[in-house]
Amino acid sequence: MGVLMSAFEAIPKPMPADELKEAAEALRAAVSTATATVSTPDGAVEVTAGPGNAIVGLGFGRAAYRYSPERLGTLVVDTVREATARATATIAESARTATRGRLDLAGMLGGALPDVRPPAADDAPEPPEADGGPAGETLRRLTRDAQEQLRGYAELRTTLATLSATARSDDGGVAAEVRAGGELLALHIAADQFRHEPAALAAIVHSTVMTASARAAMLMAERVQELTGPRIDVRGLVERYQSDGADEAADDQRR
């Protein structure tokens, strides 16, 4: 029974309907408008970040080419991290305010799952054996299912902490590595990429990072799908979300 209670307690308790509606509207407004822009002091790099570690905009100034390609890549990663941290903090604070402290989104917006620890093997109770009737069998099955779900969740959380994807630009001169959850881990810019104008190189970098982010999201969806099974088409949901996002980006470029 302790395992069932652990699983139950890990589920956020529902809010009253009127509070939930008000909180949902507040969160929707916060997410739709929450961005943060960070620039380096010399204007070499400017990054605008949105929810979930998304990079909404990326620009290079002329000062970018005063750095070595390696240093510029590191500077982009550092600036992205600062911008995404500010955007996440803004949304998380809005969530705490809207839900009166019941919801802390800071970790989840960064792709981290809440830490729900399964009972240790020595502490996990054996399924009850006293009742051999239908009720007893149902309780034993629920206990076993809860234990398996908690173990699977713990394994998934560990896997996602180290899961990442990479992408390269068409000519291979720009490479990005993104963690599941969207965090930019590394960016490599080859020396020959400085042949591009700053704006053009920034567009190449942005596109490469977005491709790596999409791949990381699909890897994450596949791992989550393994845990949820066929009940929820997680991969399909992510594919549709990415398709909608690509369509919106294309519309923005045409405007």
The structural domain count of the chain equals 1
For residue 72, give every residue at least 6 positions away whose Cβ sits within 8 Å of its Cβ, in sequence order, or none: 44, 45, 64, 189
In which band, very low, low, confident or very high, does the pLDDT at 222 lie, cut at 50, 70 and 90? confident
Residue percentage of the chain with pLDDT more than 90: 37
Edge-to-edge strand list for the sheet holding 45-49 = 36-39, 45-49, 55-60
DSSP state of 133: S
Cβ–Cβ under 8 Å, residues 174 and 168: yes
Q: Is 195 part of any domain?
A: yes
- Distance CA(36)–CA(86), nearest Å, equals 6
Q: Is the pLDDT of residue 131 over 70?
A: no
Average pLDDT over residues 17-36: 70
In which band, very low, low, confident or very high, does the pLDDT at 253 lie, cut at 50, 70 and 90? very low
In which band, very low, low, confident or very high, does the pLDDT at 56 lie, cut at 50, 70 and 90? very high
Q: Is 124 part of any domain?
A: no
Provide the domain limits for residue 36: 2-116+136-254
Query: Model-level pTM?
Result: 0.66
Average pLDDT over residues 71-83: 97
Residue percentage of the chain with pLDDT more than 70: 54
Q: Is 123 part of any domain?
A: no
Q: How far is CA 107 from CA 69, 103, 116, 166, in A?
A: 32, 11, 13, 23
When mean pLDDT is compared across 99-113, 177-191, 221-235, the lowest value belongs to 99-113
Residue 195's φ and ψ, nearest 5 degrees, are -70, -20
- Distance CA(190)–CA(140), nearest Å, equals 59
- Distance CA(254)–CA(250), nearest Å, equals 6
* The pLDDT of residue 14: 58
Q: Is the pLDDT of residue 60 over 90?
A: yes
Q: Is 127 part of any domain?
A: no
* The pLDDT of residue 126: 52
Q: Is the pLDDT of residue 189 over 90?
A: yes
Q: Is 204 part of any domain?
A: yes
* The pLDDT of residue 25: 72
Q: Is 21 part of any domain?
A: yes
